[in-house]
Amino acid sequence: MHQAEIILNEKVAHSIYLLRLRANKVAESANPGQFLHVKCTKGPHPLLRRPFSIADVQRKKDTADIIYRVVGEGTSILSQKKPGEVLDLMGPLGRGFPLPLPGTLPLIVGGGVGVAPLLFLAKKLSKVAGLEGRAFLGFSSARETFGMEVFESYGFSVELATVDGTCGKMGFPTELLEDYLKSEKKVKAIVYACGPRMLLLKVKEIAASCGIPAYLSLEERMGCGIGACLGCAVKSAKGGYKKVCRDGPVFEAGEVEIW
């Protein structure tokens, strides 16, 4: 647990906020795909912490970012926090995205606020592994888009889809991935995805049919965040349940069953 000072908490798109924290332990050790377990209030209501993927860290400045969408009580409390206030957080927790072998083309598929951990991933792929690839991003509409220029700054080419067609192609980012893989059959690629369950399910299908490895970041309601309460179960392909907080949140697509 650490107490982290809020440096910045501002709207980056419709109902989407960027929160920057001074958190040297997180900045030092975090890997893309790991998450922070955040206490939104001091008292016992809401009772549980809220998990958020790490969207970036700046080691030199000792800061870590999360990007969150306001969907309910916890996130709306968060959105009212001001710089200078202190947030109680646990983390970095969980298992992040593995880096691919040299020469592999990373294909990133993000939906909505699920784009957040993929920003940090793109940074690591580009700066540490020297790999640049493609990002297929989907949002419900133009006003909710964010992060495209970040991917571009890491040398990724970005394709966009929106459900209502207000920006990019009308439809879903998985269609963009499918189109790309149809046109580039022989490419040695690896897919990284985060977003709604339907997106993950589709990515899993596409990757399997093309014989490409895929890593998915899953969500489940969390209690402890460290594997003690067994609350965040996801069905394992081998039978029984894996825990999103401890065994994930990033899983190889074949490890888990996404209904």
Partner 1 sequence: MVDLSVKIAGICLKNPVMVASGTFGFAREYSRMFDVNELGAVVTKGITLLPKEGNPPPRLFETPAGLLNSVGLENPGVEGFIRDEWPYLKNLQVPVIVNIAGETVEEYRRIAQRLSPLEGISALEVNISCPNVEKGGMAFSRHPDSAYEVVRAVKEQSPFPVIAKLSPNVSDIREIALAVEEAGADAVSLINTMLGMAVDVEKKRPVFKRVFAGLSGPAVKPIALRMVYEVYEAVKIPIIGMGGIFGWRDAVEFILAGASAVAVGSAIFSDPAAPLKIIRGLEDYATRNLKTRISDLVGLAHRNDAEF
Ligand X SMILES: Cc1cc2nc3c(=O)[nH]c(=O)nc-3n(C[C@H](O)[C@H](O)[C@H](O)COP(=O)(O)OP(=O)(O)OC[C@H]3O[C@@H](n4cnc5c(N)ncnc54)[C@H](O)[C@@H]3O)c2cc1C
Ligand Y SMILES: Cc1cc2nc3c(=O)[nH]c(=O)nc-3n(C[C@H](O)[C@H](O)[C@H](O)COP(=O)(O)O)c2cc1C
Our finding on whether 222 is near ligand FES (CB under 6 A) is yes
Least Cβ distance, residue 93 to ligand X (angstroms)? 8
**How many angstroms separate the CA atoms of 255 and 177, rounded?**
21
Task: Spell out the residues 6+ positions from residue 130 whose beta carbon is closer than 8 angstroms to its own.
Answer: 102
Give whole-number Cα distances, 113 to 2, 24, 25, 55, in Å. 25, 24, 24, 10
**How many angstroms separate the CA atoms of 196 and 211, rounded?**
22
Task: Spell out the residues 6+ positions from residue 205 whose beta carbon is closer than 8 angstroms to its own.
Answer: none
Our finding on whether 182 is near partner 1 (CB under 8 A) is no
**CB-closest chain residue to ligand X:** 72
Show binding-site residues.
50-53, 67-69, 74-75, 224, 229, 232, 245
Least Cβ distance, residue 37 to ligand FES (angstroms)? 8
**How many angstroms separate the CA atoms of 190 and 243, rounded?**
24
**How many residues line the site for partner 1 (CB under 8 A)?**
29
Q: Which is nearer to ligand X, 208 or 229 (CB)?
A: 229
159 has which bridge partners? 136
Q: Which is nearer to ligand Y, 196 or 227 (CB)?
A: 227
Interface residues with ligand Y (CB under 6 A) are 223, 229, 231
Both tokens assigned to 37: 């377990």
Judged by CB under 6 A, the chain residues 41 through 60 that form the site for ligand X are 46, 50-53
Window 219-258: contact mask with ligand X (x via CB under 6 A): xxxx---------------------x----x---------
Nearest C-alpha neighbor of 75 from the set 128, 15, 154 = 15
Question: Which residues of this protein are in contact with ligand X, per CB under 6 A?
Answer: 35, 46, 50-53, 66-69, 71-75, 113, 116, 219-222, 244, 249
